[in-house]
Structure 1
Amino acid sequence: MTHLETADPEALRTAMVDQLVRAGTIRSKQVEAAFRTVARDEFAPDAPLVQAYAAHEAVPTKKNEHGITISSVSAPDVQAMMLEQAEAQAGMRLGEIGSGGYNAALMAEVAGPGGTVVTIDIDPEVTDRARQLLDANGYERVRVVLADAEHGLPDAGTLDRLIVTVGAWDIPPAWTDQLAEDGRLVVPLRMRGLTRSIAFDRDGERLVSRSTEVCGFVTMQGEGEHTERLLLIRGKEIGLRFDDGWPADPDALNGVFDTDRVEKWTGVTVAPAEPIKGMQMWLASALDGFCLMSVDAELDTGLVAPQNKRANITLLDGDSLAYLAIRKTADGAEFGVHGYGPNAEAVADALVEELQRWDRDHRQDEPVIYAYPASTPEADLPAGRVITKRHRRIVISWPQEGQASKSTITEKEK
């Protein structure tokens, strides 16, 4: 009989942690010990045991009136990934933005009796639930705060590590002001529609990335909330999602998919299960007209065949666009491009060129991501894609780009 068939919580917890260790998601002894100690099922009491201990599955704890999850116990692999990014040690002062209880308990185990943990959330239902579950499981020492984290963690003092467990569009000054001089911020930051969990080290007034990982989180609420804009095409079947760069003339795309499709293949291949997060970030930083395409599953006529129907890389140029496609090969898959509109050929060629450039020059690279105060002059920024937000100027800088000219995007307030 397998661990899953016994539905014994301790056996399930052991199996989950063993899986995360084998996968390399858990690497340190302190994170492993925390996961082996904290009973995850106690913090997800309404979920079946097998779901609570599924290594890659989040447990929703609250939904809005539209049925969209607005609070959850994040998937164990994501929580382990971020704790490893934080590199927290015993005795440290730790903060968490976005409460649920379980992750704060893990942080308390890492910090030990000589450290401190404070967790904050804007939703009183969430903080009440977290307080109750933490107390019930012996973590009374974790401080739970009800407040808008846009303004920092009240009365928490200086923090060695701050982990954000909700999707953020920006980095408020209060977060870095509260960090120790050698402190680290781990935040799921949205840049041009792509979210990456970034471990930022404080370097004076700027932040410098040390690692980036693909992730997905429920979005920030409160003063820091930022909603992407959606341009619907062909009724509601196809949508283009924009964090920035809203088209100057959206009506120019009327009928774009009524034109003949231009199809090009790049010669760029990918092996089964090979991560392509670097490719996505390269295209987001290299292309001025970058956006994401979504296809409504219930309205899908099969007209378009994107590589990813939920969030597919797309290049928009006036009345024409091109999107990323894929086809199987004998030993994996090849990336291609489908173009539509009066200038489909040129737009498709531009996307093909950047795909091939990534493959040729940056396939093994990861960018360094900087976060500067929004007031930083252009001349004082490193080379790369500059994304100006409300509080920060984010710079996505790739290796061997020292002489490259800067590309600047200003993300306008909605």
Structure 2
Amino acid sequence: MTTDNDVEEAAALRAAMVCELRDQGACQSERVAAAFAAVPRHLFTPGESLKVAYAVDIAPIVKRGDNGLTISSVSAPHLQATMLEAADIKPGMRVCEVGSGGYNAALLAELVGDGGHVTTVDIDPEIVERARTFLNEAGYDRVDVMRADAEEGVPDAAPFDRIIVTAGSWDIPPAWIDQLADDGRIVVPLRLKGTTRWIAFDRDGSGLVSRSYGLCVFVPFQGAGSHTERTVTIEDGVVLRLDDENLKVNGDALRRASHLPRIERWSGVVFDMPDEQALFLLTNASDMALLYADQEAVDRELIARPALKGVPALIGSDSFAYRAARPNDDMSSGYESGVYAHGPSAENLAARYTDLLHRWADKYHRRGAASIRYLPEPADPPALSSGVIAKRHGTVVITWP
């Protein structure tokens, strides 16, 4: 039973959340801030405390699969605000949300107003029913909630001025582009080289071109658009994740290398904006992959701590090298970029890696330096290279102008 005290506490926490989102720079416009101030987020997160519901960086889990992995969650307000600002939604627009939770659809409804229309779609019948129930309870019954495999989009409700995707997508289905208005925008968390970036794409001829992007984490797509990532186990608790099926990896040789003493080489350039630096590294060397290690492997000093959350690694036939950082008061951030390397070819890989760190620091040490294009088939993409990523329905081209 909801008490007057609960209502007052929720209102106070909601106001505090909006203030924090403003302070963080996630909410930059009055319209997005007003939407967050209006929608009662706690109604979409039953079972969670009010403090958790209104925490800006917490994404409450809605459903887990049989393997225990999260398959649905209510995204953190900071990420939702950032993506909504990138979408630049105007009153009267028609918006499609791919991946339902209810709360984000309510925010969209606030942004499009009475003259607009919001359609939210999900493949999971439980999530669809949950979103429909909570939207109705919160007073957003004008939002259309549909069950469908989003790979085909929602043709009956198209065209859309905006498509907002709230699940990690390995590709951009043709239906999404076909159902996007000529001057429309799609904001999608797209898998790139083993990591996910939300990207705000506008139409550019027959394809799409990025306006902005940022690092994010989303539950993976289900249905026809799902994709199983390639992994190579190096040692217990140490794996490589690869987006390139053509990259050859000798797991046995790298396992032997991991047990050899590592070398350290320091670049003399600043360590900051690790997400931007990582995107540059991953898209400027064809033999770069993501190296992950669990806590036990780190505790055994097999692999260093940077690999706990995934770190770009240069992969050789018998050696590997990955990014490191150390305190350095001469750096603006207080940290210096460097390289750890293992194996017979460690020196060579460390030198190559250090050169990449210098290139990024000299030319691209800023946010949003990359240009990301999506070329749907049957476009004629450039030859495969470190910055050209083949997908199922098209090609991603990442350049550093």
TM class, shorter-length: over 0.9
1:403 corresponding residue in structure 2: none
Cα separation, 1, equivalents of 2:10 and 2:308 = 36
1:55 corresponding residue in structure 2: 56
**C-alpha contact (below 8 Å) 2:239/2:293 kept by paired residues:** yes
How many residues are paired up?
A: 390
From 360, 367, 370, the counterpart of 2:373 = 370
**C-alpha contact (below 8 Å) 2:247/2:287 kept by paired residues:** no
From 270, 279, 297, the counterpart of 2:295 = 297
Residue 32 of structure 1 aligns to which amino acid in structure 2? A
Q: Which runs of 5+ in 2 are unaligned?
A: 1-5
TM-score (norm. length: structure 1) = 0.90
Within the alignment, does 1:94 sit opposite 2:92 as a pair? no
**C-alpha contact (below 8 Å) 1:382/1:395 kept by paired residues:** no
Identity of aligned residues (%): 46
Cα separation, 2, equivalents of 1:78 and 1:36 = 16
- State the 1:46 CA deviation: 1.2
- State the 1:277 CA deviation: 2.5
- State the 1:368 CA deviation: 0.8
Cα separation, 1, equivalents of 2:32 and 2:127 = 24
User: What's the secondary structure of 1:309's corresponding residue?
Assistant: helix
In the TM superposition, 1:340-379 aligns within 5 A as: 340-364=342-366, 366-378=369-381
Residue 17 of structure 2 aligns to which amino acid in structure 1? M
- State the 1:6 CA deviation: 11
Residue 316 of structure 1 aligns to which amino acid in structure 2? I
Question: Deviation string for 1:117-176 (max 9, x for gaps)?
Answer: 000001000001000001111111100110110111241120000000000110011001
- State the 1:383 CA deviation: 9.9
User: What's the secondary structure of 2:163's corresponding residue?
Assistant: strand
1:44 corresponding residue in structure 2: 45
1:409 corresponding residue in structure 2: none
- State the 1:375 CA deviation: 2.9
Within the alignment, does 1:11 sit opposite 2:9 as a pair? no
Residue 282 of structure 1 aligns to which amino acid in structure 2? F
User: What's the secondary structure of 2:314's corresponding residue?
Assistant: strand
Question: Deviation string for 1:67-115 (max 9, x for gaps)?
Answer: 2111000000000001000000000000100000000000000000100
Residue 182 of structure 2 aligns to which amino acid in structure 1? E
The Cα RMSD (Å) is 1.9
Identify the range of structure 1 (255-264 vs 182-191) with the bigger mean alpha-carbon deviation: 255-264
Cα separation, 2, equivalents of 1:269 and 1:6 = 47
Residue 346 of structure 2 aligns to which amino acid in structure 1? A
Residue 263 of structure 1 aligns to which amino acid in structure 2? E
In the TM superposition, 1:189-338 aligns within 5 A as: 189-234=190-235, 236-244=236-244, 245-270=246-271, 274-300=272-298, 301-330=300-329, 332-338=334-340
Cα separation, 1, equivalents of 2:76 and 2:370 = 26
Identify the range of structure 1 (67-76 vs 365-374) with the bigger mean alpha-carbon deviation: 365-374
User: What's the secondary structure of 2:18's corresponding residue?
Assistant: helix
Cα separation, 2, equivalents of 1:198 and 1:68 = 25
CA distance 1:107–1:131, shift in 2 (3 Å): same
User: What's the secondary structure of 1:286's corresponding residue?
Assistant: coil
CA distance 1:84–1:324, shift in 2 (3 Å): same
Residue 85 of structure 2 aligns to which amino acid in structure 1? E
User: What's the secondary structure of 2:156's corresponding residue?
Assistant: coil
Question: Deviation string for 1:278-336 (max 9, x for gaps)?
Answer: 21111011011111111122454122214241211111011111011111122611111
1:390 corresponding residue in structure 2: 392
User: What's the secondary structure of 1:293's corresponding residue?
Assistant: strand
TM-score (norm. length: structure 2) = 0.93
Cα separation, 1, equivalents of 2:207 and 2:381 = 14
